Chains A and B, each alone.
Chain A
Amino acid sequence: MSASLVFFIVVAAVSLTSALGVVTSRWPIHSALFMLVNFITLAVFYVTLGAQFLAAAQVIIYAGGIVILILFVVMLIGSEKIGGPSGHRLWTPYAGVALGVLMLATMIYTFASSLFGAPGTADAIEAGHPKAVGMTLFTQYILPIEMAAVLLLVALIGALLLARQPKAGAQ
């Protein structure tokens, strides 16, 4: 067994365990922390696959932004222990299972070709490098990028409007 395989198995185990931890933990904060571990293991996978830019983006956006936001919400809104299944609505488990199956099916459909096809070429690995990512994003996909940027701007302004306190004099 090669060292990289051992490494992969270890990281994959951590990744799966933490993913399970997210859904099984009774404390919202612990769930969020498990999610953080999961995101970081994903970043490690990206690095081993040569997609260093993707790994860094994963950490910056998910670990550095989104999980912190989740933590904020949990901290400020309250973090009581989550009760057992009795606390849920009746249909939630079924809906969850159905969504999970749907997602799995989509993943299999998407990856079917590469699962049974040839291993990734040097070109594909090179595509993970920052330069390649940048070139693709800003030539081929320039329109979606700009649209996403505008969308984010709109969201930002919306958030500002919502958060802004009405001035004391108004009304």
Chain B
Amino acid sequence: MDWINLLLLPVLRSVALIVVLLTGFAYLTWYERKLLARFQVRIGPNRAGPYGLLQPIADAVKAVFKEEIVPNMADKAVYMLAPALALIPALIIWAVIPVAKGVPAIADVNIGFLWILAIAGIESYGIILAGWSSNNNYSLLGALRSSAQMISYELPLGVFLVSILMLAGGFSLVSLVETPRAWWEWIWLWLMFPLFFICILAETNRSPFDLPETENELVAGFQTEYGGIKFALFFMAEYINMITTSAIMATLFFGGYRLPFGLLGDVIWLGPFVLAAKVIILLFLFIWVRASVGRPRYDQLMQFNWKFLLPVALGYMIITTLLTVFLK
């Protein structure tokens, strides 16, 4: 029993999770391309399979069979390691997210929030190392931008998380979802959602904060020298990060796997589907923003963070403290 509990079950759960996430990634690319096409008066992929549904598979096959090219002067070990380092945090952050009533994805640890912060902290490794090891000026610039951006936006993100934490009164995500909230708590949370979403956009390097890979300035930023499957891994990391952060946002702000007003609260198997629906809606938001919001310049991005977002986050935290102390 020891073995089964310690190894087999987590492994099985992990494999299931990874399969779900990779499929989700594949169809997220399709979803994004279709949606962007609609935003931009185009049609989008429609050749491979009905409605282009086989397009992700075709893309995967293409990526796998592309020629492997390693730049001559690159640090090969680090160069090969970087895509994996980018992907791993995106996957393991899922461990603490509850997917159904009383069922966390992997484990219900009492440091759920800290886990998210910790993993967010090491997400930038893949990008930094990719940029450095490619031995390319564009890559290096992209890496520097990305790490500065991710580290800076982690601060307001962390402060916002702490605020939620104080409202919730515990580190566990499972109990966060399970515990009912007062109506003013919901409203207070949702007030912060747009700002939190901005931080998330910056953390995931998504447009309009995709400065590390701005194709218009840095060609492809940190991934300039990556092709084939190695590029696909970066791509995967970005999109799985989108799914992951959407799941986190759904959990923190929109009740995770629960339907509103406790509807059908006893049907456990409904949980993952409810969560998936919320994630898809949030992903739509990501794509919508990409299609319509312009990209700021690098220094404007940093100014926005340090001069606006961080003070607002701190103020929010102070008010939350007062609310928690006096109203709960």
Query: Could you tell me which A residues sit within 8 Å of B by CB distance?
Result: 2-4, 7, 27, 29-30, 33, 36, 52-53, 55-57, 59-60, 63-65, 68, 71-72, 75, 129-130
**Interface SS of chain B: helix, strand, loop or mixed?**
helix
Say yes or no: is B3 at the interface (Cβ < 8 Å to chain A): yes
A36 to B82, CA, bound (A): 14
Say yes or no: is B54 at the interface (Cβ < 8 Å to chain A): no
Interface 1/0 per residue, B74-101 and A, CB below 8 Å: 0101100100000000000000000000
**Interface SS of chain A: helix, strand, loop or mixed?**
helix
Query: Could you tell me which B residues sit within 8 Å of A by CB distance?
Result: 2-3, 6-7, 75, 77-78, 81, 109-111, 114-115, 117-122, 124-125, 128-129, 132-133, 140, 143-144, 147, 151, 154, 171
The answer to whether A71 touches B111, judged by C-beta atoms less than 8 angstroms apart, is no
Find chain B residues with CB under 8 A from A29 CB: 75, 78, 129, 132-133
Find chain A residues with CB under 8 A from B110 CB: 52, 129-130
Find chain B residues with CB under 8 A from A59 CB: 118-119, 121-122
- In the complex, number of A-B residue pairs with CB atoms less than 8 Å apart: 70
With CB as the reference atom, state the residue of chain B lying closest to A75. Answer: B132
Least Cβ–Cβ distance between B156 and chain A, in angstroms: 15
A53 to B43, CA, bound (A): 50
The answer to whether A4 touches B75, judged by C-beta atoms less than 8 angstroms apart, is no
The answer to whether B6 touches A3, judged by C-beta atoms less than 8 angstroms apart, is yes
Q: Which 9 A/B pairs are nearest by Cβ-Cβ distance?
A: A64-B121, A56-B114, A59-B118, A52-B111, A3-B6, A60-B118, A75-B132, A56-B111, A56-B118
A2 to B119, CA, bound (A): 29
The answer to whether A68 touches B115, judged by C-beta atoms less than 8 angstroms apart, is no
Find chain A residues with CB under 8 A from B114 CB: 52-53, 56-57, 60, 130
